[in-house]
Chain A
Amino acid sequence: MIEVAGLRKTYGEFAAVVDSTFSVGEGEVFGIVGPNGAGKTTTLKVLSGLVEPTDGDVTVAGFDSDDPEMRRRLGFLPEESPLYEEMTPRSYLRFFADLYDVPGDVADERIESALDRLQLDHRERRLGDMSKGMKRKVAIARSLVNDPDVLVYDEPASGLDPVTTDSVLQFTRELREAGKTVVFSAHNLYHVESVCDRVVVMNEGRIVARGSVDGIRERHGETTYHVFSDVAPSRTDALADLADGEASGLADDEAGESDASPALTVEVGDRFRTAVPTMAAVEAVRDAVTAAGGEVVDIRTREPSLEDVFLDIVGRPMPGRYTAGTGDGSADEETGGQTPNEPEGAE
């Protein structure tokens, strides 16, 4: 449905996107992730025909990106979506439907359907009097008035409250079920993980990783095993040896606080959690705990989040607000400026 080959976009001396190549299949939700200035938005704008590429070929639904016919088959949601505030949702959406030559009765049906699915009431209220979340929903509905084959969403849940965010993400999943092709960018990697089939990771204008979320995780992240016991590391030399990294094979960042002290085991409430990367290491911890007279009370598997993968690839944490994905699918967690892999409960 979307073919991008050798895309390059420069602004004077600055290269926003360099040699970007990827394709998106029909009915696929495709994610583009990366830090600020990575080239995500520029790529999406090229796909939407908003920005002319400096070099490379871009086709969407079989049309060049500068072809007006392509625009008929595309719905675009920019990161910021200020609307014409003196209009109502209905009049605003009807205006855009007109521009796409959608017949009046069809337009009305689509508009009502989209607003129903997005659970937007107050359809005759002035847009200027609406909340940011409501406006975002109207903007999403706008992207659907022409019943496009391809939807390009730039940060669709940016700045929304959790309830509205869930609503938007759920709506995106419904679009996939309806057979729409969605290209989706987000700072919040949990959003990308939760809806995207495949992703590309961009950094400084280049694609630095690509594939399915699981595939990338497999390549760039490692599964971690958390062994919970009632034995403190100080009580057993074996655990202390593990803490020195002698059998764990753990990466420094997995170990926790610093390179100098790979704190494998941290205290969590009245238990001690030891993180190890392999089942063999799990067995070693179990043996050490048993030898110390304690017992292993729980073992959990923690899959690497896209945040972990991103950190591994880009070498720096995601800027600003982000939510660390957790292997057990727990709810969003605001972590402030912490690194995404900081152990739970660490001081």
Chain B
Amino acid sequence: MIDRLRRTLRVARWETARAGGGVDRRTLLAALALLLVVGGLVGGGLAAGVVGLDVDRDVYRVAVDDGSPYADAVESAPALTAVPVDGASLGTSADLIVRDVRGVPRDDGTIGGTAGGDSTVVGVVVSASDTEKGAAAAAEFREAVEAHNERLMADEANETAAFPIAVTLRYVSRTSGVDGGATLGGGGSTDGTAGDGATGGGGTSDGGTAGGDGSDSTGAVAAGGDGGDGDDGGLAVPSIGGGTFGAATVGSPGSISPPFPFVSLLLAFVFLVPMNFLIQAYGSSILDERTNRRGEPLLVTPLSPVEIVAGKTLPYVALAAAVTTLIALAVGGGPLSVVAVFPVALAFLGATFVGAMFARSFKELTFVTVGVSVLLTTYAFVPAIFTNVTPVALVSPLTLVVFDLQGEAVSAGDVLFATTPMSIGAGLLFALGLGVYREEDMFTQKPVGRKFLDALAVRLAPVGGDAHRGRGAGARGRLRALAPVALLTACAIPFVFVAELMAVALLFALPVTVSIPVLLVTIAFIEEVAKSVHLYAGFERGVFARTDRVAVAVGAASAVGFFLAEKATAVVQAVGLTELYVGRAAFGSVAGVGGLSVPVLVALAFAPLALHGVTTAVTAVGASRGRTRYVLTLALATLLHAAYNFAVVSVHG
């Protein structure tokens, strides 16, 4: 083990020297100068507080009295800056004006006028300028007040009093999934009354100053029925706009208006852009080994392909870790940010390695690296837009970084959910590329698609035909030959998971009536491809005998592998993704099966296995008869699978 590590480090040291030596002095100086300029600008900006993740600092001017209990909330919000309320004018000197409503509480619980007695703050009137900025300022103010209240409650010694639990039971008749789709998103409403209606709204006042209807998104008024009196120091949360944010974790897609993702955008930029440079260098280094058989002598040394690849990759992994850590420190993140982004870096490198092993030229490699970059950046960026909005955001590791920067608590399940698919996926990509890191494959000039099939076929064992008979294998031998089929399918699960998460994230914003059918077909297609593409590779490369019997056998093995590995997706339950309608459609839910008999439960549990068995056998038979038949049977299997998914969603909800 130590010897292996030593050999790997030798290759790593050489790769570092070689990569450094491959850049001429002039280019190095130019890059250094560029780095200094950018670093100087960013550093200067950070020092001056104009660059970094505080771009939204002091964006909105809020006119509020210094004595107002809302002044503290404004003060604590970076995006808000307080201006004197006297003489403030909407749209010119202020984006938002907060005026306290004062009165004298009467014995009967009503509020009296302020004349002739000590008054107290019983409500608040918030006026916003009739512009988009005014609306955004109002939303920001509302969040600031919520956060302020949260902090006050967190400081409360009596936690039960601070965080009372109220349970409201409401019985509704069961409807089909799709029919009920509009309500399954649940929670929010657009009228501004329901979201916080249980605790806010409907304040009592006689001055006509409180208890607004919340329907006006720009000039809303909210009164704190029990929160605005200042007894517990909490503030009434103005009900502005959609009112979905409180219950947004289960909000329907149509009701969600994500904020402009400043932070996510910046993080995607600062973390992912350097990766593009890294993968260019790494991909070139790997492809360079394959060009003109340059790496052949290495294969004759005592080093294994794993040691060679590990050694060549290690410098880039170290560089990625260093860059990630530095950026995390620069933006004010901590270890969580590094833990979150590092798998993204690994995924970049893993995908680039496979791409470089498949590409025939540097030109083709460029397309591969650009594709990798776009795909992974999309995967990291798009879900992160919904940070603080829905669990979909946790699909992206960048969301963890946002949480880290916001100081929000993140559970271990969240971290695993956000980082595991990419980590495992990166490992499997390296394994895929390693399959063709051998003389027989790495120097051939085949198209990327054929190389991909080669990489899959390398991992398979012969089934049927002369090769199988020659092994003299019995039932155990046949099972041993089918095991790699199941294993390879199981290894596809992380990619299936990533692809499905991607589909969920991309389709999330569409109306339910569109997103669900598209999602069901998309997911069926993804899964059918994952179950059958290596079977096609096996038939095409002559690993499997082209008989129906063999096709059904490998199809069944693939179905079993998929069925068992699919159970791993139960992790989505941990982060509440199945609370979303699209999440439930994609990943299913175990809710609602209570009360069913054991045989029915067993039948339900194994129904997916039957589905996978049938569809994969169909595609395997097609694959055994050539590409055209494979494509046709793949389409047929996708339709069967989608129909099954639709039935499950309709019945199961």
Contacts and interface: CB of A to CB of B under 8 A. Distances in A.
A76 B293 contact: no
A74 B293 contact: no
Contact of A95 (B14, B300, B302): B14
Contacts of B292: 80, 82
Interface string A129-146: 000000000010010000
Most A Cβ at <10 Å: residue of B14, B303, B542: B14
A83 B10 CA distance: 18
A98 interface: yes
B541 A99 contact: no
A141 to B, nearest CB: 12
Contacts of B411: none
Contacts of B11: 99
A87 B21 contact: yes
- Specify the main secondary structure of chain B where it touches its partner: helix
A19 to B, nearest CB: 15
Contacts of A71: 300-302
Contacts of A68: 302, 304
B232 to A, nearest CB: 70
A90 interface: no
B10 A99 contact: yes
Nearest to A45: B439
Contacts of B21: 86-87
Interface residues on A, range: 20 to 34
A76 B299 CA distance: 10
A84 B291 CA distance: 11
A45 B297 CA distance: 11
A181 interface: no
A96 B21 CA distance: 17
A171 interface: no
B469 interface: no
Interface in B12-67: 14, 17-18, 21-22
Contacts of A50: 296, 299-300, 439
A10 B483 CA distance: 24
Interface string B541-560: 11000000000000000000
Given A69-B302, A99-B11, A99-B303, A78 B440 contact: no
A100 B302 contact: yes
B440 A51 contact: yes
B507 to A, nearest CB: 42
A72 interface: yes
A87 B18 contact: yes
A49 interface: yes
Nearest to A13: B542
Interface in B252-288: none
A119 interface: no
Contacts of A84: 18, 294
Nearest to B541: A12
B114 to A, nearest CB: 83
A71 B307 CA distance: 15
B300 A48 contact: yes
B99 interface: no
Contacts of B440: 11, 51-52
Contacts of A83: 294
B291 to A, nearest CB: 8
A81 interface: yes
B97 to A, nearest CB: 67
B468 interface: no
B652 interface: no
A72 B302 contact: yes
A96 B541 contact: no
B7 interface: yes
A96 B11 CA distance: 10
A205 B297 CA distance: 24
Interface string A224-244: 000000000000000000000
Contact of B297 (A13, A72, A81, A91): A81
Given A13-B542, A87-B21, A98-B10, A82 B293 contact: yes
Given A11-B440, A100-B301, 19 more contacts: A12-B541, A12-B542, A49-B300, A51-B439, A71-B302, A72-B302, A76-B300, A78-B293, A80-B293, A82-B292, A82-B294, A84-B294, A86-B18, A86-B22, A87-B18, A99-B7, A99-B11, A99-B302, A139-B297
Interface of B: 7, 10-11, 14, 17-18, 21-22, 291-294, 296-304, 439-440, 541-542
27 contacts: A12-B541, A12-B542, A13-B542, A49-B300, A50-B439, A51-B439, A68-B302, A68-B304, A69-B302, A76-B297, A78-B296, A78-B297, A80-B296, A82-B292, A82-B294, A83-B294, A84-B294, A86-B21, A87-B18, A87-B21, A91-B17, A95-B14, A96-B297, A99-B11, A99-B298, A99-B303, A100-B302
Interface of A: 11-13, 45, 48-52, 68-69, 71-72, 74, 76, 78, 80-84, 86-87, 91, 95-96, 98-100, 139, 142
